[in-house]
């Protein structure tokens, strides 16, 4: 499936970063922010487009997160409100490293997020990319982009998991999807932190575990549970 079907796509610059906005045929005043991999596994965003959602993305410095990437999303949100008159709050679509990016954004700017669809999200950097547990190591790429050593990462206190209490504090609803055989971002080393934090704080979360599934493909054969969740909590 084409990542944007036949919808009009606008490419623009926001603070010298490329931003992509896909325009629905019949806008409903709402929008989704895909934090990374805008062209990958597009079924959910295409279904939202068919329902009248705008879908937007702004380029990251690195998929492993740079602090300015989070602030760039806030600039994108401001642009979307001013240019298209959409709701101040967006739906986060975060897959893998995009899930990590979504967590950082929602923690810093909870007032800009209505709910989150996180699919096999990176939550614990010691798991992915470091590979200190069950995950395949992606550390060489991470080091190339961040210059952070394993020793520094062990003492790091800005993992996505360090932001989960703040998400729970604001009770940002989370739709969590993951495979139980993920070799890249194992659920029990990553997404389970979100589930445990939310359940401990009586927050809104729905988890779907795909039996026998690895990291790819993202989403579900039938995405209606994801879409239903978004429509229920995108207020």
CATH of the domain at 138: 3.40.50.1820
Q: Is the distance from CB of 134 to CB of 127 less than 8 angstroms?
A: yes
pLDDT digits (tens, 9 = 90+) for 216-234: 999 999 999 999 999 999 9
Residue 2 within a domain = no
Total domains present in the chain: 1
Residue 159 has pLDDT above 80, yes or no: yes
Structural domain boundaries, residue 136: 8-233
The pLDDT of 167-177, averaged and rounded, is 98
CA distance 104 to 98: 10
Residue 100 within a domain = yes
Residue 101 in tokens? 């990016």
pLDDT digits (tens, 9 = 90+) for 10-52: 999 999 999 999 999 999 999 999 999 999 999 999 999 999 9
Residue 4 has pLDDT above 80, yes or no: no
pTM above 0.85, yes or no: yes
Residues 6 or more apart from 189 whose CB is under 8 A from it? 123, 124, 127, 128, 133, 134, 135
User: Which of the two residues, 3 and 112, has the higher pLDDT score?
Assistant: 112
Res 6: pLDDT: 78
Residue 1 within a domain = no
pLDDT digits (tens, 9 = 90+) for 38-88: 999 999 999 999 999 999 999 999 999 999 999 999 999 999 999 999 999
Expressed in percent and rounded to 5, the helix, strand and coil fractions of the chain are 35, 20, 45
Residue 210 within a domain = yes
Residue 32 within a domain = yes
Res 1: pLDDT: 40
Residue 13 within a domain = yes
Residue 152 within a domain = yes
């Amino acid at each position: 499936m084409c990542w944007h079907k036949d919808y009009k796509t606008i490419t623009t610059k926001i603070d010298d970063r490329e931003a992509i906005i896909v325009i629905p045929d019949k806008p409903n005043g709402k929008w989704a922010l895909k934090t990374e991999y805008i062209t990958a596994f597009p079924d959910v965003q295409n279904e939202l487009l068919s329902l009248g959602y705008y879908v937007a993305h702004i380029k990251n410095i690195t998929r492993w997160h740079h602090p300015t990437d989070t602030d760039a999303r806030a600039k994108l949100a401001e642009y979307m409100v001013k240019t298209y008159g959409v709701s101040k709050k967006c739906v986060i679509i975060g897959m893998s490293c995009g899930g990590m990016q979504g967590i950082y954004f929602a923690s810093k700017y909870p007032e800009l997020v209505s709910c989150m669809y996180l699919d096999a999200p990176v939550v614990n950097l010691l798991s992915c990319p470091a590979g200190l547990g069950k995950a395949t190591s992606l550390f060489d790429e991470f080091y190339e982009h961040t210059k952070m050593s394993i020793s520094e990462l062990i003492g790091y206190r800005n993992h996505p998991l360090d932001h989960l209490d703040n998400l729970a504090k604001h009770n940002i609803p989370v739709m969590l999807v993951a495979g139980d055989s993920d070799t890249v971002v194992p659920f029990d080393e990553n997404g389970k932190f979100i589930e445990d934090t939310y359940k401990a704080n009586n927050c809104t979360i729905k988890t779907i575990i795909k039996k026998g599934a690895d990291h790819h493909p993202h989403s579900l054969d039938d995405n209606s549970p994801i879409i239903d969740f978004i429509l229920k909590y995108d207020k």
